[in-house]
């Protein structure tokens, strides 16, 4: 072989040998990195393994208090068992959505989020309501998304549309004034129909007659974590009537005369249905400083504007069907404030349950992480977030938690929950 050929072979071979050594080094480094990842994963898996955590908690001589907002002492003992719902006896309850055909994509997003985090284990019914007939496309898509049975209801006109006794001239003037003042949904007629329907008529729909509980779901919401329990069962076992996740302040320019109507009703009731010794009246009226925070918004009445955000609510339908609630609603409805102003169902529900229920009949579902734009909630505890497979950020600027515009701390003080805040009262 002549020397020129040898030279060519050497020039080709040397780079190949170099690349082989280089790739070999990369392989060993990659293998080492993968091994370190595997070790780290194993450590984390052991750290957060349900059985180990459960054994650790039970071995403690004193109760462990999580660094979180939860007041469930057994939060870490609730196992995420994939087989837990096999043969499960569901509660007499339904998932309920008031939705329009045009909101199909948002409805499907909400359904998928709730199915993945909760209902795939339990298969509760889905009930959909609309003031116009549902389209075949809507029915087909939502039926395919649901793990449980689906049913659809057309709301009667007399339950949805503006009542004839509303003064049309005054109503139109109110729309124009609120639009000029930049009030949220101030010029919307359909929004007012929705608020009145959710306040006084949703529970009267025949399709709900056979149910005891409902879980309100809206389009375009998210549930960030696996549910640590069946909230319907919690409602029944703990004898709760109303459950919420987020509490915040209402816009006063939408409910300027609402508290006047409420005060009038309290006086008219004379203690028959409203027990000031056991209810949550102080939650509605306490304007004191709590911790570092004064109320972030002032009001011109005794009402501090705190309410439960009703886009997430779990409730006992028998309460809303009761004579005491219907009397309360009809008193408010007769004032015309749903149309002459823009009373929302959130303050109406909140004031009703705060006045008419024992404070211990209301529950804050602090174990459920939820988002309805622009606000969300997320568990503070790292262990809880990992245990419930959460996909949320506690540092998110929209996490309302115990921020100044949240009323949660007022609920802890004046309602049911953080009892240590009430020990000196």
Closest CA to 280 of 149, 143, 100, 417: 417
The whole-angstrom separation of Cα 49 and Cα 123 is 27
Q: Is the pLDDT of residue 62 over 50?
A: no
Say if CB 347 and CB 290 are below 8 A apart.
Answer: no
Residue 425 has pLDDT above 50, yes or no: no
- Stated as kind and residue range, the H or E segment containing 402 is none
Specify whether the CB–CB gap between 245 and 312 falls below 8 A: yes
Q: Is 313 a catalytic residue?
A: yes
Q: CB of 122 within 8 A of CB of 213? A: no
Three-state SS sequence of 276-294: CCCCCHHHHHCCCCECCEC
What single-letter DSSP state applies at residue 312? S
Cross-strand pairs, 308: 247
Contact 75, 107 (CB under 8 A): no
| R_g over Cα of the chain | 28
Residue 364's φ and ψ, nearest 5 degrees, are: -95, 115
For residues 198 and 320, the answer to whether their CB atoms sit within 8 Å is no
Count Cβ atoms below 10 Å from residue 423 Cβ, excluding itself.
6
Average pLDDT over the chain reads 86
| High-pLDDT (> 70) share of the chain, % | 77
Question: Confidence class of residue 79 from pLDDT cuts 50, 70 and 90?
Answer: very low
Q: List pLDDT tens digits, range 183-225.
A: 999 999 999 999 999 999 999 999 999 999 999 999 999 999 9
Residues 123-158: pLDDT tens digits? Answer: 999 999 999 999 999 999 999 999 999 999 999 999
Q: Which residues pair with 40 in a beta bridge?
A: none
What is d(CA 194, CA 185) in angstroms, rounded to the nearest whole number?
Answer: 12
- Which residues are 211's β-sheet partners? none
| Cα 366 to Cα 291: distance, rounded to the nearest angstrom | 20
Select which of 103, 115, 250, 313 is catalytic: 313
Q: What is the dihedral of CA 301, 189, 215, 77, to 10 degrees?
A: -50
Question: Which one has a higher pLDDT value, 311 or 74?
Answer: 311
What span, in angstroms and rounded, lies between the C-alpha atoms of 156 and 395?
Answer: 45
The angle formed by the CA atoms of residues 249, 253 and 255, to the nearest 5 degrees, is 75
């Amino acid at each position: 072989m002549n020397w020129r050929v040898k030279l060519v072979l050497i020039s080709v071979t040397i780079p190949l040998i170099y690349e082989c050594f280089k790739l070999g080094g990369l392989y060993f480094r990659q293998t080492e990195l993968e091994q370190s990842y595997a070790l780290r994963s194993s450590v984390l898996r052991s750290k957060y393994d349900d059985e180990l955590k459960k054994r650790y908690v039970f071995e403690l001589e004193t109760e462990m208090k999580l660094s979180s907002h939860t007041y469930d002492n057994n939060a870490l003992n609730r196992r995420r068992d994939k087989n837990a719902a096999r043969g499960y006896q569901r509660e007499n309850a339904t998932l309920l959505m008031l939705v329009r055909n045009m909101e199909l994509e948002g409805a499907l997003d909400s359904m998928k989020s709730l199915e993945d985090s909760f209902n795939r284990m339990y298969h509760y019914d889905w009930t959909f309501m609309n003031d116009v007939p549902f389209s075949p496309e809507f029915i087909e898509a939502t039926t395919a998304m649901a793990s449980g049975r689906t049913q659809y209801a057309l709301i009667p006109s007399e339950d949805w549309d503006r009542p004839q006794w509303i003064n049309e001239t005054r109503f139109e003037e109110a729309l124009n004034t609120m639009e000029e003042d930049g009030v949220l949904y101030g010029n919307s007629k359909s929004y007012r129909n929705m608020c009145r329907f959710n306040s006084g008529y949703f529970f009267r729909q025949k399709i709900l007659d056979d149910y005891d509980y409902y879980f309100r779901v809206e389009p375009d919401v998210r549930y960030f974590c696996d549910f640590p329990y069946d909230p319907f069962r919690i409602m029944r076992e703990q004898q709760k009537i109303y459950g919420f996740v987020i509490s915040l302040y209402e816009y006063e320019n939408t409910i300027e005369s609402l508290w006047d109507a409420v005060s009038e009703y309290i006086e008219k009731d004379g203690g028959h249905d409203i027990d000031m010794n056991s209810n949550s009246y102080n939650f509605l009226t306490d304007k004191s400083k709590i911790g570092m925070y004064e109320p972030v918004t002032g009001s011109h009445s005794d009402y501090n504007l705190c309410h439960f955000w009703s886009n997430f609510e779990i409730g006992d339908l028998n309460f809303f069907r009761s004579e005491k609630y219907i009397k309360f609603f009809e008193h408010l409805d007769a004032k015309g404030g749903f149309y002459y102003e823009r009373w929302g169902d959130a303050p109406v529900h909140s004031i009703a349950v705060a006045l008419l229920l024992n404070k211990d009949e209301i529950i804050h579902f602090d174990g459920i992480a939820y988002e309805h734009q622009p606000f969300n909630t997320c568990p503070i505890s790292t262990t809880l977030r990992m245990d419930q497979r959460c996909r949320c950020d506690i540092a998110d600027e929209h996490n309302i938690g115990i921020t100044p515009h949240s009323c949660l701390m007022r609920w802890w003080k004046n309602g049911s929950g953080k009892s240590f805040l009430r020990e000196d009262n």
